[in-house]
Structure 1
Amino acid sequence: MPKNKTILITGAGSGLGEGAAIGLARQGHKVIAGVQIDPQVTTLRDKVKELGLENNLHVIRLDVLDPFDVNSALRWDIDILVNNAGIGETGPVSETPIELVKKNFETNVFAPLVLSQKFIAKFVKEKKKAKVIWLSSMGGLFTPTHFGVYCSTKHALEALAESMKEELAPFGIQVQTINPGAFFTGFNERMLETSFRWLNETNFTKTADLQASIDAQVNVPDWKLNPQDMIDEMVRVIPAETGKFRNVFPPFVEDMLKDLHAKAWLNTI
């Protein structure tokens, strides 16, 4: 791959995706920032102009659920695809409406898999050395209570990425995951509110109990992490031609997950 890469990032209209797009463009890479809706296109293009990054950062509408947007994105000749777009559902798995579960999988798993398959077919046909990156999560490697729906989509990404890594190695196509900890960019905070739009007095899970459970898990100083630290790590990992397959950040989260995995063999019912 060339030193300065051409990188397509989905879900770049806010948060870590937007920050990584800007950071990579500042490093001299050509970035195509895919955003979900038209107002995000205008907002980010204005920001790009203010930053003087017009030559390096191109903003397009790329709703991963829209086949026309997907086919339009395929016109770009890229070196790296970053599957960052996603949504999150919280709440008791036992009661979450199945249509919301399906929607979470459609956005987080099926749509990015379709996009990846289409770009991979191009890479193979063109005999191109390329890379596919999946934005997973610390939640792809463990499952906190009441985060089961969202985490299950990220667990699925881990399986897809791990299999894809071996399948594509003979073609010179690299595959990685990036697994952020609890960085509060707006995404996590809004995800915590999702279950309260359907949970009511007819559910056996009570609103107060669910709120107490979520508060106990997230209202901890160690989880109020600075998003810029994660953005800097993404900017380091995404264009790199060597590195780890799975990239958990910050390091204390990786240590925590290793400890949880070791203890998982001792779990009882």
Structure 2
Amino acid sequence: MIKTILITGAGSGFAEAAAIGMAKAGHIIIATAQIAPQVAALRNKVAELGLDNIRVEKLDLLDPYDVAFAQRFDIDVLWNNAGIGESGPISEIPIDLVRRNYETNVFKPLELTQGFIAKWMKQKKRAKIVFTSSMGGLFTPAGWGTYVSTKHALESIAEAIAQEVAPFGIKVQTINPGAYLTGYNETMADTAFRWLDDNRNFTKRDELRATFDALLASPQGHLDPQEMIDRMIAIVPADTGKFRNVCPQFVEDMLKEAQATAWTAEI
């Protein structure tokens, strides 16, 4: 069945490629991007591909006028994909950066979602909500605590919403990518060095940089994103499937092992 799908944060990365893939599969796509240059670039790309079933619009979740405009669309699927990431030790990170990460990754997607749920309830419409979470929504590596805690929050929000709206025919899923090479993790790793100061912080810049570089250099740190894109193209429009969708399989296995180990961890 053809679906009308609204995607946030589709100006780059996974969601841009998945938007194009789902359009090629026949779905009607409203691909949104945060800033005008991303909108223009994606419109040009869509025109070059001859895809007249993708509409590209600006949607900055922090702009109430953008959000109000987006909620006029009549859609079958809301894919909450937009997000930002702050790295660095959460024991030292400035609190305003934590708040900003939660505003973009948790509060604003929730606000957008609540608006569509209210609309669907009035319409008695069966619909679907998808959240882009992360492998980091299910475990917490040091140095990434701020970002992954927002994804932990999304996991709880998605589980709660799923139970609350199931009686009304609205479905909820999460997508949990591993460390695919899209540039997102590499860019996020740089954010801590805007504020880390060896004269003030006990976390030293060179030591943290070495830790991040080692992680990002490992084969598990730069997986081919096409595998995840293909999964997203299949998962987002589907009427059935798993609530949680971790990819690739070895990451799912690692997360299950880490969660089991948490029950025996000692201080």
Question: TM-score, length-normalised on structure 1?
Answer: 0.97
Q: Give the corresponding residue for 1:209.
A: 207
Shift of 1:200: 1.2
Name the counterpart of 2:35. 37
State the partner residue of 1:27. Answer: 25
User: CA–CA distance in 1 between the matches of 2:68 and 2:101?
Assistant: 22
Measure, in 1, the Cα distance between the counterparts of 2:148 and 2:166. Answer: 27
Deviations 1:140-199 (A, max 9, x none): 000111000000000000000001100000000000000000011111110010000111
CA distance in 2, matches of 1:228, 1:51: 19
Tell me what 2:67 maps to.
70
Deviations 1:53-89 (CA, angstroms, capped at 9, x unpaired):
0x21000000011100000011110000000000000
Map of 1:82-121 to 2, 5 A cutoff?
A: 82-121=79-118
Aligned residues: CA RMSD: 0.7
Q: Which moved more, 1:229-238 or 1:213-222?
A: 213-222
Q: Which amino acid aligns with 2:80?
A: N
- 1:246 alignment partner in structure 2: 244
Counterpart of 1:139, as a letter, is G
Q: Which residue of 2 aligns with 1:123?
A: 120
Amino acid corresponding to residue 192 of structure 1 in structure 2: A
Alignment partner, residue 266 of structure 1: 264
User: What does residue 157 of structure 2 align with?
Assistant: 160
For 1:61 and 1:105, locate their aligned partners in 2 and report how far apart those are by CA, in whole Å: 21
One-letter amino acid of the counterpart of residue 76, structure 1:
F
Query: What corresponds to 2:145 in structure 1?
Result: 148
Structure 1 residue 216, shift from structure 2 partner: 3.0
Contact 2:186/2:216 (<8 A) preserved: no
Matched residue SS, 1:192: helix
> C-alpha distance in 2, partners of 1:8/1:251?
27
Counterpart of 2:181? 184
2:78 aligned with 1:81, yes or no?
A: yes
Q: Which moved more, 1:6-15 or 1:178-187?
A: 178-187
Q: Residue 4 of structure 2 contacts residue 30 of structure 2 at CA under 8 Å; is this kept in 1?
A: yes
2:140 is paired with a residue of what secondary structure?
Answer: coil
Tell me the secondary structure at the aligned position of residue 232 of structure 2.
Answer: helix
> 1:222 corresponds to which residue?
220
SS in 1 for 2:246: strand
The one-letter code sitting in structure 2 at the alignment partner of 1:65 is L
Q: Residue 13 of structure 1 corresponds to which residue in structure 2? A: 11
CA–CA distance in structure 2, aligned partners of residues 33 and 70 of structure 1: 14
Alpha-carbon separation, structure 2, partners of 1:204 and 1:261: 29
* Residue ranges of structure 2 left out of the alignment (5+ in a row): none
1:255 to 248, 253, 265: 253
Q: Name the SS for the 2:245 alignment partner.
A: strand
- Residues 120 and 127 of structure 2 are in contact (CA less than 8 Å); yes or no, is this contact kept in structure 1? yes
Alpha-carbon separation, structure 1, partners of 2:95 and 2:222? 31
Q: Which AA in structure 2 matches 1:244? A: K
Q: Does 1:56 align with 2:53?
A: yes
Cα distance in 2 between the residues matched to 1:267 and 1:217: 23
Q: Which residue of 2 aligns with 1:233?
A: 231
Larger deviation: 155-164 or 200-209? 200-209
How far residue 218 of structure 1 moved from its aligned partner, in angstroms, is: 2.5
Moved more, 209-218 or 159-168: 209-218
| Corresponding residue of 1:200 | 197
CA distance in structure 1 between the partners assigned to 2:155 and 2:205 by the alignment: 31
Cα distance in 1 between the residues matched to 2:59 and 2:120 = 20
